[in-house]
Structure 1
Amino acid sequence: MKYHVIYDGNCNLCVSLVQQMENLDQGAQFDYIPMQDEAVLNRFQITAKDCELGMILIDANNPEHRWQGSDAAEEIARKIPFAEGLVSLYRKIPGLKSLGDKAYEEIRDNRYQWFGKRDRTYHSPYPIGCIALGAGEREKGKGTR
């Protein structure tokens, strides 16, 4: 199953987290769309105003199935093998989800002041439509991204 991650390509924190995900996933489950790419956002009927509410995760097989903000972050973590248990625990502790939502909103609203803003938009080497290479193919340099 493939998912599209819409992130702020001008936010230092957001880009750092996307790069961590790229290293872990290498395009197998996730591809990445900067929210500054209006042409791609239009394909999903997403506006810049929609993006102001936080990152968006879209199920590529069912694009109407979407998560946003802290819900998107949780769903992404559920897809990463070592983090799935942490998300389950996080969701079971009373009040922690609400606290996490508030923390996400605070970081979202202050990300440029706290972490800085990039001069140029970051574009992932795993853009929408990328095909993940198997380990052997990556070593040989075959395939496309």
Structure 2
Amino acid sequence: MVRQFLRNLVGGPAAAQLQRFVAVGTTAAGLQMLLLWLFVDYVGWNYLVGATVAIETTIIFQYVLNNAWTFQANRNTGLSAYLYGLLKTNLVRGSAIPIQLGVLFALVEWVSVQYLLANAVAIGISGIYRYVLDTKWTWGGDVL
């Protein structure tokens, strides 16, 4: 599956869409890491609370960018469709929050990985899951 994902990233039929999804996701991951760092190191929140708020913030950020750019052919237009798409992506990405938080917790508490590095790993692990569900359900397109 990973090999096919990487192959399609550079030359498959949905390469442009996948590249845009990865670009948006990478930007959002950077934003999420920055927010997490601010919430934990400057606000003083527990890393799991900070991660939850950072994740939800980037869910909204990614929806706006993905709807406008990544999935422009299947874009949700009109207020009703736009809000319904936002709800759907929140359900998809919200369902990935326990995966991401679980990996984050396990790496920090059981393996003693620094929380920002652990969060980066957790983002990567939940990324393919989010792509497949968002592509199929939120924007109703083909996965690859």
Which TM-score band (shorter chain)? 0.3 to 0.5
TM-score where L is the length of structure 2: 0.35
TM-score where L is the length of structure 1: 0.35
Q: Which has the higher helix share?
A: 2
Q: Which has the higher strand share?
A: 1
Return the structure number with greater relative CO, CA threshold 8 A, min gap 6: 1
